[in-house]
Amino acid sequence: MSNSIGVKNAVKRFGDVTVIPDLSIEIKNGEFFTLLGPSGCGKTTLLRMIAGFNSIEGGEFSFDEKVINEIPAHKRNIGMVFQNYAIFPHLTVRQNVEYGLKIRKMEKKAMEKRVDDILDVVKIKEYQDRLPEHLSGGQQQRVALARAIVIHPNVLLMDEPLSNLDAKLRIEMRSAIRDVQKQVGITTVYVTHDQEEALAISDRIAVMKGGIIQQVDAPEKIYTRPYNVFVSTFIGHSNLFHGIVVKEEDGIGVQFMDGTKTCLNTLTDVTPGTKVTVGIRPEEFGLSETGILARVKNKTFLGRYIVYELDLPEDMILPGQSSIEFSQDLGQAEKLYEVGETFFLRPNPSKINVFTEDGEKSLIKDVRWDG
């Protein structure tokens, strides 16, 4: 029932402006695939091309290898969910869900069964006779989801479906969407600019910038092994250091500008002496007797952990950062620190990310554009 989606060398222009220069992706059947990126990077544009709402200036779109470029939107058998729920206010929940099947002239008994099943899956059966105005935002979004999947679409496309909901409901609804998607097993393309949501919900994520895909990978891989500095800073926080590749007795490593060295067996074959950019997550430092000397500039208590802003010698870190972030898990911390205190940091060698000096490409083994 569900389809794979292929996009080959897609081009999108609005007038003279090229929004997507040349984009290719393969989305597997049954996969939950997220397009993530800053505002204006072309996520919605790409989704609308898949749906058939946008013209295609170049390239090939396919469902299960069958080219769909010339198939109009209403014949692509797509389920869509938007941020504004797009449900009919004058119809009850059940009538809303039935609507797409009635249009398709489905036989009454089969339709009743189909609707009953979907109302169960999406957990809205108890509200089936209510009008949308008597539902909460989350419940309305469940109705929109039920409406989209009841027609057994080839693919489900969702554009920022949770952005109108408050923070708590967003978290509840993202696991509801994920559960329903897995239960129904439908290929889903999901657009968001919320990185936490993308990490929580997706099988794979495509990170986009300026209409160009920066990395396609599973959430864990995107977070731990970003392909470039943009991905490492767009998703989570990354402290960026100047570094130089050095050869030590026990292998190749990276030296920071204060002379601290860290041996890495994860590096690709890089010539010693090469200048690099080093990315380290706030939680990937340990405290040590020696290492990078840091002074607490500020601290923020966040319940489960504490985030320290640390002062370091200026020439160690990339311009644009006035300090670095270090987070200490409260459950593990032996000692907490006050503003003004100093200590030595040791980055965890297996978690350090090393990029070309310009930040364009990872120098860690097995980090690819497409995982």
Interface residues with ligand ATP (CB under 6 A) are: 14, 19, 37, 39-45, 193
On whether the CB atoms of residues 152 and 122 are closer than 8 A, the answer is: no
- State the alpha helices, DSSP H only, in 26-92: 43-51
Residue 45 or 232 with smaller CB distance to ligand ATP: 45
CB of 170 to ligand ATP, least distance (A): 16
CB of 13 to ligand ATP, least distance (A): 9
On whether the CB atoms of residues 27 and 186 are closer than 8 A, the answer is: no
On whether the CB atoms of residues 130 and 89 are closer than 8 A, the answer is: no
Residue 14 or 369 with smaller CB distance to ligand ATP: 14
Nearest to 40 by CA among 231, 208, 232, 213: 208
Cα separation of 303 and 161, whole Å? 29
CB of 38 to ligand ATP, least distance (A): 7
Which DSSP string do the residues of 280-300 spell out, in sequence order?
A: E-GGGEEEESSSEEEEEEEEE
Q: Which amino acid is at 345?
A: L
CB of 117 to ligand ATP, least distance (A): 33
Residue 33 or 337 with smaller CB distance to ligand ATP: 33
Residue 37 or 153 with smaller CB distance to ligand ATP: 37
CB of 46 to ligand ATP, least distance (A): 7
Residue 204 or 225 with smaller CB distance to ligand ATP: 204
Cα separation of 104 and 98, whole Å? 10
